[in-house]
Amino acid sequence: MCGIVGYTGPREAYPVIIKGLKRLEYRGYDSTGVALLNGGLKVYKKKGKVVELEEAIVGKDLHSHTGIGHTRWATHGEPSDRNAHPHSSASGKLAMIHNGIIENYTQLKKELSSKGYSFKSDTDTEVLLNFIEEIKKNNQCGLEEAVRVALKRVVGAYVILLLDQDDPGTIIAARKGSPLVIGIGKGEHFLGSDASPMLEYTKEVVYVNDYELAIVKPDELVLKNLGNEKITPYVQKLDIELAAIEKGGYDHFMLKEIFEQPQTIFDCLRGRLDIMGGTITMAGVQNHITQLKNANRIMIVACGTSWHAGLIAEYIIEELCRIPVEVEYASEFRYRNPVIHKGDVIIAVSQSGETADTLVAIEKAKDQGAIIFGVVNVVGSSIARLSDSGAYTHAGPEIGVASTKAFTAQLVVLTMIAMKIAYEKGTINQERFNHLLNELHEIPNKAEIVLKQNDAIKKLAEKYKDARDFLYLGRGYNFPVALEGALKLKEISYIHAEGYPAAEMKHGPIALVDESLPVVFVATRDSYHEKIVSNIQEIKARKGKVIAIITEGDETITDMADDTIAVPEADEIMAPMLSTIPLQLLAYYIGVAKNLDVDKPRNLAKSVTVE
Ligand code: G6P
């Protein structure tokens, strides 16, 4: 996590960096800092969000044409001014920012302490910086060489950006495991954790790879490996527009992104779904169709909301393709000794494409012969690049920390993959395939209809905002939706919420039910409908408050529940794409009613690049 920005060129560096940091705050907002080169090094940093630093340094000398900036998600050392990046070296001549974790920093710190170094912060970053400075001094070499030597000793993940007061105009950067993009302008260069800080300046970018070092000057970019050999930068064109990362009149990015869903789902289907021709075109699937349809097993690896999308995909793939599916938390999968057979297919699901646990999990599986299929939102991200094949979700940049539109786009892509495999494998006939195609085609319109319930959901949020706990229940395809609804509420409103399979509720959570507990049932009409109606009655019999997400026209549940939100009828496979939306809105409005920062909930970060 953490966001990093760098600039070198003819512009004033500070405004470019500050604007860039604001766009990267989704990566963490525990503290903010900048280091500016102008003759000497000026470092300004502060606990809190970017705007707090900005206010605190009004009137200071901010003039500079080369600088770096950082927005932090704390790992080593509490959020505080002194633990904020950039860190300065013992001599005061070097400044560094870091995204990642240096795992062997205790050992390096001991070595440095024995040589008389003392430390101003509790961070692993300051240790690495002084380790670099020590090498520079000892070997009497330049910063570039010192960084190269130091990184050979480093265990962990990093993107680092360094400034040297004796080498004005130059930024040295290196990456392993955390993302780094360099934007190429005319006589200027931009650096960022993603491309958002550079969108208005250039469309030409280079994604730096692991174990690469960049020496960045206004009119020159040199890329090298750690063996000091030059690498030709691979320049790519960005296709993101500035409007995509702005709020566009909404109060929050989260609300904007919830409301974008009819469009993002449509974008996801566009060019792939052909109703007239009765086909789905997905080159990534087609290129590996033999392996996919003959897979003995598919494993889905993901974290957080993406893991919930994986759970729904498990139900869909098993139903349509008759292939056994296992869904794994990437963080668990990577540390156990999973049985992976050559030819197993791993589907990695990730919005950011940078989640460290997912990335390492698939690296490991790939080494053991698995085929990696990436379902990723961010184009050119690490997971996308590591995958053998894949399909982008095309949801556009997602800025709100709680994932919304990326989730529904993941469901759409995973459903299309399942349909395509099933069709090619012959486990569904043309009639069922065509029916599902039509159903998918209708989802954007139906999502639009769901969003019309916005005001009703806002009222519900007012009614239930003071509850201490929530229970979310669902069955079948809607069980993972219950998990996702509970996660959204926890993330945004800090209310404790649990998601459970509705029937499993009898084995424990039912003990929590009393008149103060709101229980959200995801109860759209499907093959389990009668069963979930019984579960609702079980809750009502114990005086729980029932909020039910139902299919339009469901009088049975309307009569039983305290409150209902109706969504249009849809095939049960696709119901989660609709039933999730009211739960996103409910969490959002409860967060707003409690006056919380819904786009940047406490302690969270959007892109989790630490383990
Ligand atoms: C973080 C985010 C979640 C996200 C999860 C996985 O926890 O706050 O919204 O679902 O990471 O991220 P990914 O980018 O891999 O989908």
Q: How far is the CA of 407 from the centre of ligand 1 (A)?
A: 10
pLDDT score, position 29: 86
Minimal-distance CA residue to ligand 1 atom 7:
304
Minimal-distance CA residue to ligand 1 atom 8:
606
C-alpha distance across the termini of the chain, in Å: 10
Q: How far is the CA of 307 from the centre of ligand 1 (A)?
A: 9
pLDDT score, position 505: 86
The token pair that represents 38 in the structure block? 């102008």
pLDDT score, position 248: 78
pLDDT score, position 242: 79
pLDDT score, position 508: 87
The token pair that represents 409 in the structure block? 């786009």
Backbone angles phi, psi at 378, to 5 degrees: -80, 115
pLDDT score, position 455: 97
Low-confidence ranges of the chain (pLDDT < 70): 1
Q: How far apart are CA 444 and CA 436, in angstroms?
A: 14
Q: How far is the CA of 146 from the centre of ligand 1 (A)?
A: 35
Q: How far is the CA of 304 from the centre of ligand 1 (A)?
A: 5
Inter-residue contact 536 to 550 (CB < 8 Å)? no
pTM of the predicted model as reported, rounded to 2 decimal places: 0.81
How large is the greatest C-alpha to C-alpha distance in the chain, in angstroms?
80
Active site residues: 2, 606
**Which of 73, 258, 352 most suits a substitution to test ligand 1, by most atoms within 8 Å of the C-beta?**
352
| Cα-based torsion angle of the residue sequence 302, 100, 396, 459 in order, rounded to the nearest 10 degrees | 80
DSSP category for residue 25: G
Of the candidates 586, 197, 547, 266, the residue with the CA atom closest to the CA atom of residue 405: 266
Ligand 1 is surrounded, with C-beta below 6 A, by 303-306, 350-352, 355, 358, 401-403, 604, 606-608
